[in-house]
Amino acid sequence: MTNLLEARDIWFSYDGRNYIIKGISMTIGSGRMYMIFGRSGVGKTTLLKLFKGILKPVRGEIRYKERTIINNAQVRRDSYSAIGYIPQGFGVINNLTVLDNVIVGALSRVSTLSSLIGRFPEHEVKKAEEILRMLKIHDLCYTKVSRISGGQRQRVAIARALMQNPEIILADEFISQLDPVTSLEVLNDFKRLAEQRKIGVVITTHDIQLAPSYADEVLVMRGGEIVFRAVHGMIDERDLVSAMR
């Protein structure tokens, strides 16, 4: 495993008074899956946004391959291309087809001009189709996203993130909106693809029962801090619940 991303003592406040993230440090390694748990409002979404560079920390830094990419003063471009982000609610565009939604994921790599006029290179389209095939929704290529199920939308969001060739994927409330059977199917397929491509994955979710078998590492947040960590083989659901209280 190679360390890809490292948060060092990051602090964050929306209003300059109350700290929402209080001195969090964590390392994301290639091909590993991290699950972050915690009750609503503890700062999980905020933490992912800091990792992606959507928010800037007040203090501390985020390093990518030993180089500072995000701190109080700057957000370097590396964070856009290397880090895929799947927001809560998937961030898919209802009016577009499945294929178009996925191709949008190439925007960070393909020149903006050619993409805006809707003329994607043929190999990008092929790549999108290939990813959709691996995620088992290839038959929906030309269906509008407004007409597909929640599980299929989650797959579209994953496909779009993969289209970026990311080294890391951050997924907020991953599979939280799906029924238990669909959740498992989506998680299995996602985990397999991420491992094949050595992508480090960080998800926030409420499905603690999945942690022992799927997570390489779990972290529990409370009040803007990480109050509990455990690695695969040492993960017990009861510990997670008591750490969240």
Ligand X SMILES: Nc1ncnc2c1ncn2[C@@H]1O[C@H](COP(=O)(O)OP(=O)(O)O)[C@@H](O)[C@H]1O
Residues that bind Mg ion (CB under 5 A): 44-45
Q: Which does 57 bind (CB under 5 to 8 A by kind): ligand X, Mg ion, none?
A: none
Distance CA 24, CA 1 (A): 22
Q: Which of 2, 41, 109, 236 binds ligand X (CB under 6 A)?
A: 41
Closest residue by Cα to residue 229 from 216, 220, 238 = 220
Rg (CA), the chain: 18
Strands in 101-199 per DSSP E? 168-171
CB proximity list for 58: less than 8 A, separation 6 or greater: 11, 12, 13, 19, 72
Q: Which of 4, 10, 42, 218 binds ligand X (CB under 6 A)?
A: 42
Query: Which C-beta is closer to ligand X: that of 14 or that of 146?
Result: 14
Query: Which C-beta is closer to Mg ion: that of 45 or that of 71?
Result: 45
By the rule CB under 6 A, 40 interacts with ligand X: yes
Nearest approach in angstroms of CB 196 to ligand X is 29
By the rule CB under 6 A, 219 interacts with ligand X: no
Angle between helices 150-163 and 180-196 (to 10 degrees): 10
Q: What 3-state DSSP class applies to 42?
A: coil
By the rule CB under 6 A, 43 interacts with ligand X: yes
Nearest approach in angstroms of CB 44 to Mg ion is 5
By the rule CB under 6 A, 20 interacts with ligand X: yes
By the rule CB under 6 A, 57 interacts with ligand X: no
Is 90 in contact with 161 (CB distance < 8 Å)?
no
Q: Which stretch binds ligand X (CB under 6 A): 44-52, 61-69, 124-132, 211-219?
A: 44-52
Q: Which does 161 bind (CB under 5 to 8 A by kind): ligand X, Mg ion, none?
A: none
Closest residue by Cα to residue 48 from 153, 169, 225 = 169
Distance CA 143, CA 95 (A): 10
Nearest approach in angstroms of CB 84 to Mg ion is 17
By the rule CB under 6 A, 46 interacts with ligand X: yes
> By the criterion CB under 6 A, which residues form the site for ligand X?
14, 20, 38, 40-46
